[in-house]
Structure formats: C-alpha cells, structure tokens
Structure 1
Amino acid sequence: MSTLEGTRENPWKLKTPPQTSDYEMFKDEKDGKLILVCTVGKTVLHYDYSCVDDLNTMLKLHGDWMELASADEQKSVKEGTVEAWGRSPENPIGGWYGLKKGLRGRFGMYIPPLMEKLGLAEVEHNPRNNRMRTIKK
C-alpha cells in the first residue's frame, strides 16, 4: 500500500477556497498523459497535470494576488482571473486544462487549494472573491 500522498490509495484531502466543501484529488495517468482526478461528491473531474507547473509559472510572472473566480464550463468568466487563464487559448496548452467535456470548468475552485497543499501558492479563504499568489522563494 502506498503512503505517498496524491495517489489513488491516498488522495490529497482538500477544501474549496471558502472552506465550505471537501473534495479529493490524486495524480493518475490516462491515455499516456498525467492527469489530476478530482472527486467532488459523486462528480469526477479530470485536469491536465501540467496545470500545476503552468499555473505556478504564470503566478510568478503575474507577481501579485490574482482573483480565482470559478464557473462551470458553460458559463462565461471574468477576464484576468485564474479561471479565465485555465481555459484561455493564451495559456501553455492553448485552452482548457479541464479534460471532461461538459465538466471542464471550476479550475479556479479546485486547483488553487492543491497548489496551496503543495506549498506553491497562498490562497485566501474568504466566503467569496478569493485570490491566490505564488509563494516567493
């Protein structure tokens, strides 16, 4: 049995930025590609694992707090937010980091707490309008 955190057997236990919902994530492989599997209740989302390094790099270049925002795939999102970046044709993969059609949104809700858990970012935990920034090393 694996004791490494972030595996199927021992997923990261996370809370949404407002601390209102629990969810789990782990690193896996699908079709030869590393992915993040995010389980929220009975809903399972997949994100391209490269989002962790890519978001960290973008936040370092941004250099300040950035609003998270979070929206389902079908909804528009405020420009200049983490959610907008996670679906932008201007990001390193040229579009959505979410991999399951119809469930590709909510990047700004579920990826920032993982970044915080990994020691890569600070995330605010207010009831709404949370932001994140890179941890300067």
Structure 2
Amino acid sequence: MKEKIGTKENPLALQTPPLSSAYTMHTDVKDGKDVLVCTVGKTVLLYDYRCLTDLHEMLKKHGDWMELGSADEQKPAKDGTVESWGRSADNPVGGWYGLKKGLRGRFGMYVPPLMEALGLAEVTHEAKGNKMRAK
C-alpha cells in the first residue's frame, strides 16, 4: 500500500472531499515511526501511518456512512464524526493520529481522500457535510 502513496520525490496528488483544494500525500519515517506526510501549500501535516488500517477497521464495524467533520486542532470535533474518532481516547492509539502539535486536526479532511484513492473507502464530494464508508 505504501508504494501507492508515493515518496517525497513523487507524492500522490489528491483533492479535499469538496474537490476545492489540492494537496499531496507521501510516506516517510519520523522518529522510527511510519508516517503520512500531508502537504497543503506550504503547510506540512503528519499523521500516524497506522490510521489507514485503524480507520478502515472502525468504518467496517460502523457499517454505514459516517460524517467527516473536519476541524482544526484548536476547535472541538463534532461527536460521531471521523474527525472526533481521529482524536478520541477510545481509538486504537488512545488519542490523536495527527503528530504535529498545533496541526494535529483536519484528519477528516485529508485522510479520507487518501483512503478513497487506495480503494479502502467511498467518500462523498459535496460542498459541505461529506461522509465516508468502508469498501
């Protein structure tokens, strides 16, 4: 799966769920941990690579569409959304999948399109209120 995500030299080009912004994603290793490197303009966000497997498993158990609910780290995430799960003490890592303090949010914006590109999920592409479900 990692080879499909790309490298720093050849990252995977993606679009946010509303198809309003482009960004790239690639894999790397930071502090001995596999990470997803998400580059949005000049901003670089890092997510724990295992979020792909963990989110896919959670969505399979959920069994239906789930709202993405993307939010910045400083804002609360709406309950029952992918974003709230991505920072919940009840998820498999016991908290944030985002790894860069101050930029740990937006999990529900940038990870779902990657999962869609990898064939792990379906994502809606409306102006607002997008959802995803496991494939």
TM above 0.5? yes
Equivalent residue number for residue 48 of structure 2: 48
Gaps of 5+ in 1: none
- Is the aligned partner of 1:90 residue 2:90? yes
Distance 2:5 2:66 in 1: 27
- Is the aligned partner of 1:9 residue 2:9? yes
Say whether the 8 Å CA contact 2:5–2:27 is kept in structure 1.
no
Equivalent residue number for residue 18 of structure 1: 18
Tell me the CA shift for residue 26 of structure 1.
Answer: 0.2
Gaps of 5+ in 2: none
Task: Using structure 1 for the length normalisation, give the TM-score.
Answer: 0.95
The AA in structure 1 aligned to 2:61 is L
Moved over 3 A (4+): none
Tell me the CA shift for residue 20 of structure 1.
Answer: 0.1
Distance 1:110 1:121 in 2: 13
Equivalent residue number for residue 113 of structure 2: 113
Give aligned-pair identity as a percent. Answer: 69
Task: Using structure 2 for the length normalisation, give the TM-score.
Answer: 0.96
Equivalent residue number for residue 72 of structure 1: 72
Tell me the CA shift for residue 4 of structure 1.
Answer: 5.8
The AA in structure 2 aligned to 1:117 is A
